[in-house]
Structure 1
Amino acid sequence: MSETIFNESLTDEERYEHFIERIAAGEKIEADDWMPDDYRETLIKLISMHGISEIMGALPEKEWVPKAPSLRRKLGIMAKVQDEMGHGQLLLRVAEDLMKPLGRTREDIMQDLFSGRLKFHNVFHMEAPTWGDAGLIGWLVDGAAIISQTNMLDASYGPYARALKRICAEEVFHAQHGESIIIALAEGTSEQRIMVQDAINRWWEALLMFFGPADATTTGTSKQDTTIKYRIRTKTNEELRQDFFTKYIPRVLSLGLTIPDETMHFNQEKKQWIYKQPDWSRFKEIIRNNGPKSRERLELRKTTYHENQWVRNALNIAK
């Protein structure tokens, strides 16, 4: 008996119990399976934000394509921008399937972005004024993304889990690309080392905020309980942040660079990193599109979207 037919014979309460049993057993939920409303909405918000963030995240690096210091570096960062755009399109397609039963489309996603209802990741509201920033985005920002996304490789929603397998594989290359830029600069002239250190100082707070608040009481925006409940992911925001510290702090220090936090240290007794909390009120402002480059990047995305409307119209006619 198919899942759809089976579910039609159940009450809503029985459907919910069956759904919980399926994800507890490690089964994958597919787009045409029955799912609770809050599961669907959580996935739509998460995957739409992820997809849009991949696209918006390409913009600060796009700025460096014509300014990269060599042809090799230009080709590398151009390929990375192309990958990020592809990730965004893949994820938005996954989100569209979830939205169809609600009568919503990708157009609704874009309008939600332009109106401010749909957020994009806090790190992509930030400035990237130097080549050191471009390298740091690839190394530490993409490194943080890998930690976050690999935590969802076994997500209960099958289409998202499968998309993440491809995305994470490509993100590993992006992180290696960024690391190679940072190592070259760190081993270069004193001016280049200062450039890298300035980039770390500039991005450190945004990196702390990358994984979100430890709990909802900090900003009132955390959705981690729902995503863990439905086995979309397994670790909390703070656990992911600690994983990031464990992986990257030794690497930063090994290059003779410093972390802009004098309080930071590893507590052997608690088995965790102690660090200065970022300004979470600033985090709230940034994700409300009041970051350093929020409006400029949103305006670019909006202009590009409207200027290319003729392409979407042509594709619709071709159907």
Structure 2
Amino acid sequence: MPDKHKKYERLIARCKALSPVTTAVAHPCDESSLRGAVEAAGMGILHPILVGPRDKIVAVAAQFDIDITPYEIIDAPHSNAAAELAVQLAREGKAEMLMKGSLHTDELMGAVVKSATGLRTGARISHAFIMDVPKLDRAIIITDAAINIAPTLEDKKHIIQNAINLSTALGFPNPRVAILSAMETVNPAVPSTIEAAALCKMADRGQITGGILDGPLALDNAIDLDAAKIKKIESPVAGKADILIAPDLEAGNMLAKSLTFMADADAAGIVLGARVPIILTSRADSVMTRLASCAVAALVAQSRRESASKAVPA
């Protein structure tokens, strides 16, 4: 497929005009996580601080011929301590991004969400996949497929706002947001359809801003214009959605993985709603997907930096 990765390549290219973002990498103690951080550094996307057992990091670098001499290593005895230290660096402003190494996501997120020492803000923390689907002419965002198991209406408001803010940071303002269900009509027997209608009204009232919302929409009429026309759905979102809001984690996770394993898509992952963007990569990720995850986070960090500078009075 000649166009595969074109969407990701454009995101990575945008980072070349930016300064590398200082990134705390928590427990990069296998080849995939260490090489991913170093490759992103080589592309000028980030500047890693490697946080974890020094001897283990050095040994992995030597085994797989990865040059880590330009980068600081902060010694931590084990993965939990590495997560705590990496979060502390971000909390103290010494790192603008956080990156998951070879530790469980729960370990890293456990440190992130701690009330006294974590990285919580007033927003709900959520996860988003930026999907590069070869068949589609645009990247699409799927959320939440990794953190919020059974999100409430209030949670979904934050999940949607996080996704809109992400789209804007990536250079796609005013995204079209489809709130997914199994059907496109409001049915009292299907709670997700009622929540979708409520969320659209919240957007009408300014409780969600920066995007165009519609729902409930079934997946086919959210992303396929012909399907929307057949069902006579008149909507600025139907058939053209940029963001797909899943009703719960199971649906979102299965949707993202279906696209990955049955439609040859790539899925770059990021955690939103914390003080800093958090890069979540998988050992199964391709080099391009790892770089895209880093690029997405770097663009979010840049957007936050610009917003903060505008907020400071002259």
Same fold (TM over 0.5): no
State which structure, 1 or 2, has the greater radius of gyration over its C-alpha atoms: 1
**Larger relative contact order (Cα-Cα within 8 Å, sequence gap ≥ 6):** 2
Provide the TM-score with structure 1 as the length reference.
0.28
Provide the TM-score with structure 2 as the length reference.
0.29
Report the structure, 1 or 2, having the larger helix content: 1
